[in-house]
A and B are shown apart, each in its own frame.
Chain A
Amino acid sequence: MTRPVTLPATLDEAVAALTAMPAAVPVAGGTDLMAAVNAGQLRPAALVGLGRISEIRGWEYRDGHGILGAGLTHARMGRPDFAALFPALAAAARAAGPPQTRNAGTLGGNVVTGAPTGDTLPVLAALEATLIVAGPGGARRETPVGQLLSGREMLRPGEVVGYLRVPLLHAPQTFLKATGRTGPGRAVASAAVVLDPARRGVRCAIGAVAPMPLRPLEAEQWAASLIDWSAVRVRGAVALAPEALSAFGEYVAMSCIPDPAPDPDTGRPPAHPPAVLHLRRTVAALARRALGRALA
């Protein structure tokens, strides 16, 4: 049972191949897709391999932003030169799976697969990254990553994610992840915190606890109001009191895992099961540690 496989050399060729064969599925690293194929869960009629498109395997600067190729592997993103510019993204890439997975799995694949446990997703959400999507006829359109992850917008027929536009913030960023074992594992919960001194903002996203990364906007604003932004580039100058960090963690956890709606009879919310309460405590600890390390 052979399937036609096309290996385009440019983004536009890939778009053309997908337009010509609407049933074809694009594949980059294949760490999710091919596992599903091997397990018999997916039987794509044809494949369009994106691995030979060299234009999307690197990154460049443009207008204070990094334009990251969708074909960047996790292994490449984990290296020090990348980490110096996008520290949280690099930390997420290093924490993702075993080396074999990091060598093959790509940034674009992480976004398009959109698995709740995708490690780069909360970082992209916190960075408010924008997708640059290639479409038929050489068209390029931009859309916030959250639109795709939340399912508010889908890729249209023939479209391929080409690049991600990520702001260069020149300020501390952290990514932390809780897993079930010491070796590589899927996230139980993850937290990304980025500081944006230019806009005097703290941005936080929590991964793996919901189908898409969650942004606790009120907690972000509250934390931003506590920080002395004039000193933020001096290491350790804006460290917050432990109580404030704990309160931030609780705030984030309560907004990501809120209490259920109150019982109409008693007026009190019913209690979450112990596993959910533990997840909430995990989120609180991760958010607290992530902000604390960003400000340390």
Chain B
Amino acid sequence: MTSGDAATATPHGGAPPPPPPAERTHGLGASVPPADALAKAQGTFPYAADLWAEGLLWAAVLRAPHPHARIVAVDTEQAAAMPGVRAVVTHADVPGDANHGRGVADRPAFARDVVRHYGEAIAAVAADHPDTARLAVAAIAVEYEVLEPLTDPEQAFEAEPIHPDGNVLRHLPLRYGDAEATGEVVVEGLYRIGRQDPAPIGTEAGLAVPRPDGGVELYTASTDPHTDRDRAAACFGLPPEQVKVVVTGVPGAMADREDLSSQIPLGLLALRTGRPVKLTAGREDSFLGHGHRHPTLLRYRHHADAAGKLVKVEAQILMDGGAYADGSHEALAAAVAFAAGPYVVPHAVVDGWVVRTNNPPAAHVRGEGAFQVCAAHEGQMDKLAATLGLDPAELRARNVMATGDLLPTGQAVTCPAPVAELLDAVREAPLPPLPKDSPEEEWLLPGGPEGAGEPGAVRRGVGHALGMVHLLGAEGADEVSTATVKVDGPVATVLCAAVETGQGFATLARQIVQEVLGVEEVHVAPVDTDQPPAGPGARGRHTWVSAGAVERAAKMVRTQLLQPLAATFGMSTELLTITDGKITSYDGVLSTTVAEALDGKELWATAQCRPHPTEPLDDTGQGDAFVGLAFAAVRAVVDVDVELGSVRVVELAVAQDVGRVLNPAQCRARIEAGLTQGLGAALTEHLRVARGVVRHPDLTGYPLPTALDVPDLRVVRLVEERDVVAPFGAKSVSAVPLVVAPAAIASAVRAATGRPVNRLPIRPAAVVPE
């Protein structure tokens, strides 16, 4: 042993430690870190709020102080005359389409004659200074005739229409099997789901820059740039080519981001003043401007036989869509189709409605539809188990669906559906130890380290829940994506309009190109609408279609690169491999580098990926509406202070159907994020509204989970059964844990307290025995 070795020897008996197993540092299956991780952690990453342009003006938006009112008059004269104010715009200044919307164009760019929700945009101001803009907004005189708000969705059917299109946005009945079937055991339940808000850490922000050709460029954290461009262009009265959306970094998204109520004012003000205009929403503006999860009222009746096999599920689902349609149609489809959960149900009678109210508008939020029904069907399974005297997990095990079973929509589950395996995995995982085995000062009781928790009043409960979400857009949505891959020397570049929302697409795209082309250095180009559309970053779309497009394009580049070599050596391209920038043949005869093979050329290829088509649900709720499904099982362990009603989640254990793990670190991070959001929705996250008026639109009134609230998150099992129709066989991982965690927590609180717990978030009063 030389002295150099001695210096590094371990203290354990002289033998050097075994070399770590060769871990992959790039390509699929490796924990490749995000390229921008360091910049984001150090705070140097430029988000939209950090953008600057020479001579820019600051915008502010006037929001309605009433949930329902007729606008009698808007007087902007005083505001426009203020020194430093450059422009004031209202509905009268919208040159193009007066209304816009996703799917249904039912939302005015600015409220015209009627205000339909608290915080609806009425006017916007551009000024030299943000304070001036805010003061000018306050100086706009609006005369309202206040109307009675429609805030109870159950009243929406009978009430005067609050919108020319009527109050019922969609009614979806589902009839499956024999509607008259009955079971020996019947349990009923009424469930209420609250209004979760995406509450992104970075609030909405944007910069609009006018172009010399009369168009405008919008720099914003859009998650669906092409749709935003088209909607904004229609309002500006411009052809889509004259509007360009440039995507900046996305500071948190669990939904569609950057609502158009800020993008349209920005663009209009930039076009009007001919100067760049910037807007950075405050926390209140953010809460009022973007859409929330649909608050939902669910009435259930489950029929089962004496052995606990489900016979029939009856459900009535009423979703509060707020004033405008937005993503409500698809949310309802998911809620109705998944009303029974991942269980085999021979008969189902479900009616779903989504209605307009003067409450804050609902929009697409991750897990939409599936989230609301999961808490309800899992509550029903607990109730059924209690009635039958069965262990709740055992009852679930007797009913789980598997590949080949039918959904109540009549669609066969063709993808892997390892639900039984997931349930077994969380049931078998060891339970966390009780605090009595550790020193008293280490106990973390409900209420926190400085709280009022008392060990004698704490009860522990364990609950299980199963749930599912659909992947990709449903009911005939065209889920196409286009990507371009370029190789130039040792560097490859991906151009794709799929937005990195934090879901990890940019990292995945790099991994795919590394895998296919053997090039280590891969860049992902910034996204703008000059690229071909890739669609919204929602429902695991980019992991599926955009990643599929990147793979195809990379393979086309590979063929272009290898074809000449293969022809020279008289072998097919499949017999050549590329690793670490070197090309070798199966027999070792050929060995060259990518750079040599390129010989100074650039290779480009563009490809599309489009999954198999789906169809709309018919008027009995039947049809093959979904491209793919993903499942998860969660076991929650909670401690409840049964006097104060405070709940602390001790552990969440999850087993999840992921198809294939493409990036272990990222996969785990996404699951943890989903569980955390689910925990928030279960315990604290609910945007409070009184008679249509949003109360406390700030992070004190809307408490998010903190590090003390989030417990040990245990991923006990990732089931990797590849979905053959998905590129790489991977399923998106973020949404399912969010959908299932609240149901598991509610189940655990039920077990701890014996109370019904039929509302999310769980209120302390509902936990304390009366």
Which chain A residues have a beta carbon within 8 Å of chain B's beta carbons? Answer: 1, 38-40, 91, 94-95, 98, 176-186, 188, 191, 274-275, 277-278, 281-282, 285-286, 289-290
B448 and A1 within 8 A (CB)? no
Q: Which of A1, A180, A281 has the most CB of B within 10 A?
A: A180
Interface size class, chain B: 20 to 34
Contacts of A185 in B (CB 8 A): 703
B134 and A183 within 8 A (CB)? no
Contacts of B703 in A (CB 8 A): 180-181, 183, 185
Which residues in chain B, 443-488, are within 8 Å of chain A measured between CB atoms? 444, 446-448, 450-452, 454, 457
**B14: Cβ under 8 A from any A Cβ:** no
A180 and B684 within 8 A (CB)? yes
A179 and B447 within 8 A (CB)? yes
Contacts of A39 in B (CB 8 A): 282, 284
Contacts of A176 in B (CB 8 A): 451-452
**B648: Cβ under 8 A from any A Cβ:** yes
Residue of B nearest to A242 (CB): B456
A181 and B683 within 8 A (CB)? yes
A184 and B706 within 8 A (CB)? yes
Interface string of B688-714 (1 = CB under 8 A from A): 000000000000100101111100000
Residue of B nearest to A289 (CB): B454
**B143: Cβ under 8 A from any A Cβ:** no
**B678: Cβ under 8 A from any A Cβ:** no
How distant is the Cα of A248 from the Cα of B86 in the complex, in angstroms? 65
How many A-B residue contacts, CB cutoff 8 Å?
84
Beyond the given A38-B282, A39-B284, please list 12 additional residue pairs across the A-B interface where CB-CB is below 8 A.
A94-B450, A176-B452, A179-B451, A181-B706, A182-B706, A184-B448, A275-B765, A277-B765, A278-B645, A278-B765, A282-B764, A289-B454
How distant is the Cα of A285 from the Cα of B454 in the complex, in angstroms? 10
Minimum distance in angstroms from A117 CB to a CB of chain B:
10
Q: Which of B131, B700, B764 has the most CB of A within 10 A?
A: B764
Interface string of B422-455 (1 = CB under 8 A from A): 0000000000000000000000101110111010
How distant is the Cα of A79 from the Cα of B742 in the complex, in angstroms? 38
Interface string of B615-650 (1 = CB under 8 A from A): 000000000000000000000000000011110100
Contacts of A186 in B (CB 8 A): 700
Minimum distance in angstroms from B405 CB to a CB of chain A:
39
**B40: Cβ under 8 A from any A Cβ:** no
Can you name 16 A-B pairs with beta carbons within 8 Å? A1-B129, A94-B450, A176-B451, A176-B452, A177-B452, A178-B644, A178-B646, A180-B684, A181-B706, A182-B646, A182-B648, A183-B709, A274-B765, A277-B765, A278-B645, A286-B452
How distant is the Cα of A94 from the Cα of B450 in the complex, in angstroms? 7
How distant is the Cα of A261 from the Cα of B567 in the complex, in angstroms? 97
Secondary structure dominating the interface of A: mixed
**B768: Cβ under 8 A from any A Cβ:** yes
How distant is the Cα of A37 from the Cα of B705 in the complex, in angstroms? 26
Contacts of B644 in A (CB 8 A): 178, 282, 285-286
Contacts of B282 in A (CB 8 A): 38-40
B768 and A178 within 8 A (CB)? no
How distant is the Cα of A186 from the Cα of B684 in the complex, in angstroms? 13
Contacts of B454 in A (CB 8 A): 289
How distant is the Cα of A78 from the Cα of B444 in the complex, in angstroms? 19
A285 and B643 within 8 A (CB)? yes
How distant is the Cα of A125 from the Cα of B397 in the complex, in angstroms? 57
B709 and A181 within 8 A (CB)? yes
Contacts of B706 in A (CB 8 A): 98, 181-184
Residue of B nearest to A177 (CB): B452
Q: Which of A182, A191, A274 has the most CB of B within 10 A?
A: A182
Identify the 7 closest CB pairs spanning chains A and B, nearest first: A183-B706, A278-B765, A176-B452, A95-B450, A183-B708, A285-B643, A182-B448
How distant is the Cα of A1 from the Cα of B765 in the complex, in angstroms? 47
Residue of A nearest to B711 (CB): A182
Minimum distance in angstroms from B609 CB to a CB of chain A:
42
How distant is the Cα of A1 from the Cα of B128 in the complex, in angstroms? 12
A278 and B768 in contact, given A181-B709, A182-B708, A183-B705 (Cβ under 8 angstroms): yes
Residue of A nearest to B129 (CB): A1
How distant is the Cα of A186 from the Cα of B698 in the complex, in angstroms? 13
Residue of B nearest to A1 (CB): B131
B768 and A181 within 8 A (CB)? no
Contacts of B643 in A (CB 8 A): 281-282, 285
Minimum distance in angstroms from B176 CB to a CB of chain A:
38
B446 and A182 within 8 A (CB)? yes
Which residues in chain B, 63-114, are within 8 Å of chain A measured between CB atoms? none
B452 and A289 within 8 A (CB)? yes
A178 and B709 within 8 A (CB)? no
With beta carbons under 8 angstroms apart, the residue of B131, B444, B450, B684 that contacts A181 is B684
Contacts of B700 in A (CB 8 A): 186
Minimum distance in angstroms from B286 CB to a CB of chain A:
13
Minimum distance in angstroms from B337 CB to a CB of chain A:
34
Contacts of A38 in B (CB 8 A): 282
Residue of B nearest to A191 (CB): B452
Contacts of A181 in B (CB 8 A): 448, 683-684, 703, 705-706, 708-709
How distant is the Cα of A290 from the Cα of B451 in the complex, in angstroms? 11
How distant is the Cα of A129 from the Cα of B460 in the complex, in angstroms? 41
Contacts of B134 in A (CB 8 A): 40
Residue of B nearest to A93 (CB): B450
Contacts of B451 in A (CB 8 A): 95, 176-179, 182
Contacts of A182 in B (CB 8 A): 444, 446-448, 451, 646, 648, 706, 708-709
Minimum distance in angstroms from B767 CB to a CB of chain A:
10
Contacts of B705 in A (CB 8 A): 181, 183
A282 and B709 in contact, given A1-B131, A180-B684, A274-B765 (Cβ under 8 angstroms): no
How distant is the Cα of A1 from the Cα of B83 in the complex, in angstroms? 13
Contacts of A278 in B (CB 8 A): 645, 764-765, 768
